[in-house]
Structure 1
Amino acid sequence: MSYTSLIKFLICYAKDPNFNPCRSDPFNGSDVHQHCLNGIVCQTDVIKGAGRGPVPFFVFDQIKRVVGLKAQLIILLIICSFSLFAQGTLIDKNGTARFYSEAPVENIEAINKKAIGAIDLSNGSLAVSMLMRDFTFEKSLMQEHFNENYVESDKYPKSTFKGKILNYDPGKFNKPGSYTLKVSGDLTIHGVTNPLETEILCQVSNESISVETKFIVAVAKFKIDIPKIVFYNIAEEVEVTASFNFKTNPSK
């Protein structure tokens, strides 16, 4: 089993304790049942006392006979704390995403402080996942309209990005400095996926790697309908900014 698969499981489980990789995967919604996150073996037995349905097992087939799912997760996290950085994968579960819409009648701004990001330093791969309902607005009515009328959060609960740093040079992340890099990948919003190429600013220190980016999203490309009655309240293009802080030495 690859560490990338383990990272995917931990991110999904941290966001949703009922997550089952044979049913859903915020990083890849297709072929999950067949591939089970490239190595995680899914079984349909239930741990007594765990309070969950079918759960994934891989290296802990023997452990499951004596401990519950929570204990297995603790063991996973302990292993990860010693092994993940050596494998080159870093995670930030408290990333920030903002969007800003400037319109003739009223500007709209929202922030999400629960975005999850992962970067694989061995090959420059990036992955981001966030729940649309985690965006907060200054006005509660705006937030209600955003979730119910525009992005349809119940039907399309998350937004994701999967991509890679172009012309990736892993040596840049081994020494402190500031680097502007190009990223190319797929952005999914409202159940629609479009290609995205943008720049990211990376600040590398001895303790962390911070990543910031800004790009424009055309609402129509993601099939988000704007009612004519509020057409002048919402811009056709939205400015999106995102930032993550990946700790390279979690003990500090």
Structure 2
Amino acid sequence: MKLNPQQAPLYGECVLTVHLEEDDVCRAEDEEEKVEFYLLFSGSTQRHLTSTLRVSHVTLQAVCPAHNVCEQVLVTLCWVQPDGAVDSRSQETFCFVQDLALDMAHFLLDSIAPQEALLLDDEQECERLDKSLALALRHLRTRPGIHTHSGRDGHATDTHDEASTDVSSAEPPRQQLSGLLHLAASHGLRTVAAFLLQQPGARRALRTPNARGLTAACVAQSRGHEQLLELFTQ
């Protein structure tokens, strides 16, 4: 099999296209209507099993899982037959990397005043960054143990990590959360704001003013971000 793309950011969530080799197709041909295909990602400390969608005779699609470290992993194509038997053979390498959004998420979480740490004047650049930055922040807020994650289009991913601790329920410092909300309000980052509002203490952080005495809602209003203002005040 061939994977496209051949790398993804640590927070995953991109769509992978799997091109089946002739041998893969022939081996599954007899059970074509019933066989279920999966991708097994095997890293140094973490493994992920994700479902796929067959979009043509020779093509599958899957949502890339998140991973815990930057490294090259081994991806194995597996299929489950109607009787429950599992077969696997094709393998391909795949890389998890740290991208700009993850670098920025690290920087913002480490910053004393995140609302002043990111200077972006390009509206289109902000729109492109919005989703990836939200995914990166979510990735850094979550340390998976053993859980099932449903990605886009209903794809399911099982992740197994024996040496990790789940900190997703820990409440972030209110000042940090408030600063990130002000950052989202200033740059119109709707996806980031929606993620932040799901965090414990978010509503209290919304009432916390910045150094200029403005709440995140006031900042959104002053910048003309009406959808964000509605999100903050609903």
TM-score normalized with structure 2 length: 0.23
More strand per residue: 1 or 2?
Answer: 1
Greater CA radius of gyration, 1 or 2? 2
Return the TM-score normalized by structure 1: 0.22
